[in-house]
């Protein structure tokens, strides 16, 4: 079993749709979690941090469920510009980072 | 402000040759990370440094790979000898942690092709 798993997709949704991604992790001692976005042939960039209390930034909401060991990302009112690959990141010990394989999202007009 | 700088952006070499990838982190950042990204394996952490000291190199695939950080503004990842399976995009990232994991800023990557 991989330490961090994501549904690779692709998710194909129309503009305006709500879409949700999940990411599961295996190490219960993991402390810090993030979502990154990566556009085609570009470097990953931070989208948002994930806290136990939840985190909302405009149309984006991130949640952490420690009991079930997963994090989620919800995108409301999808835009064409949201088309990208979304990577979850887990810090397993110290500053060692493990990236999920990514979930590809296509938003179509 | 300049972001993380990597060079070269593209490298094509033949099997058996030595390859050196370079990275200049953002000034003031105390952590530096080297990653490799392929379609099959995704983004993998190879090694990371804290204040120029290697902390965890468990992701380095084998002895052919080595990384150094002689000062706070420069790091190298070397592959000697290179093999076709080393073909990938190599990213360098830096972070200003304040003692806790924080945003990592990635460079544009070096696309390596080993023939």
pLDDT value at residue B1: 65
pLDDT value at residue B85: 96
CB contact under 8 A, A31 and B108: no
CB contact B109 to A (< 8 Å): yes
**Mean pLDDT of the region B8-32:** 97
pLDDT value at residue A70: 92
pLDDT value at residue A65: 92
Q: Find the Cα–Cα–Cα–Cα dihedral B23, B29, B34, B36, rounded to 10°.
A: -90
CB contact B33 to A (< 8 Å): yes
CB contact A79 to B (< 8 Å): no
B22-81 pLDDT tens trace: 999 999 999 999 999 999 999 999 999 999 999 999 999 889 999 999 999 999 999 999
Contact between B61 and B87 (Cβ < 8 Å): no
- List CB contacts (< 8 A) between A102 and chain B: 42-43
pLDDT value at residue A75: 98
CB contact under 8 A, A98 and B107: no
A75-95 pLDDT tens trace: 999 999 999 999 999 998 778
Judged against a pLDDT cut of 80, whether residue B98 lies above it is answered with no
Contact between B90 and B112 (Cβ < 8 Å): yes
B18 burial (CB, 10 Å; 0-12 / 13-18 / 19+) is: exposed
pLDDT value at residue A99: 95
A12-71 pLDDT tens trace: 999 999 999 999 999 988 889 999 999 999 999 999 999 888 899 999 999 999 999 999
Angle at A36 between CA A33 and CA A42, to 5 degrees: 150
């Amino acid at each position: 079993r991989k330490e961090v798993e994501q549904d690779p997709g692709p998710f194909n949704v129309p503009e305006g749709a709500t879409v949700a991604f999940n990411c599961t992790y295996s190490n219960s001692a993991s402390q810090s979690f993030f979502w990154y976005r990566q556009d085609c042939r570009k470097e990953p960039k931070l989208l948002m941090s994930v806290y136990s209390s939840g985190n909302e930034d405009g149309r984006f909401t991130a949640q952490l469920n420690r009991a079930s060991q997963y994090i989620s990302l919800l995108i409301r009112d999808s835009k064409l510009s949201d088309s990208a690959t979304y990577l979850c990141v887990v810090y397993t010990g110290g500053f060692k980072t493990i990236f999920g394989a990514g979930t590809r999202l296509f938003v179509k007009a | 402000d300049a972001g993380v700088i990597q060079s070269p952006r593209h490298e094509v070499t033949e099997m058996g040759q030595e390859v050196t990838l370079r990275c200049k982190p953002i000034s003031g950042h105390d952590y530096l990370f080297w990653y490799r990204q392929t379609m099959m394996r995704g983004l993998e952490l190879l090694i990371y440094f804290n204040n120029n000291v290697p902390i965890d190199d468990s992701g380095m695939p084998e002895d052919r790979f080595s990384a150094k950080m002689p000062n706070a503004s420069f790091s190298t990842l070397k592959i000697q000898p290179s093999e076709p399976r080393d073909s990938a995009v190599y990213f360098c990232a830096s972070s200003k942690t304040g003692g806790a994991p924080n945003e990592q800023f990635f460079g544009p990557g070096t696309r390596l092709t080993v023939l």
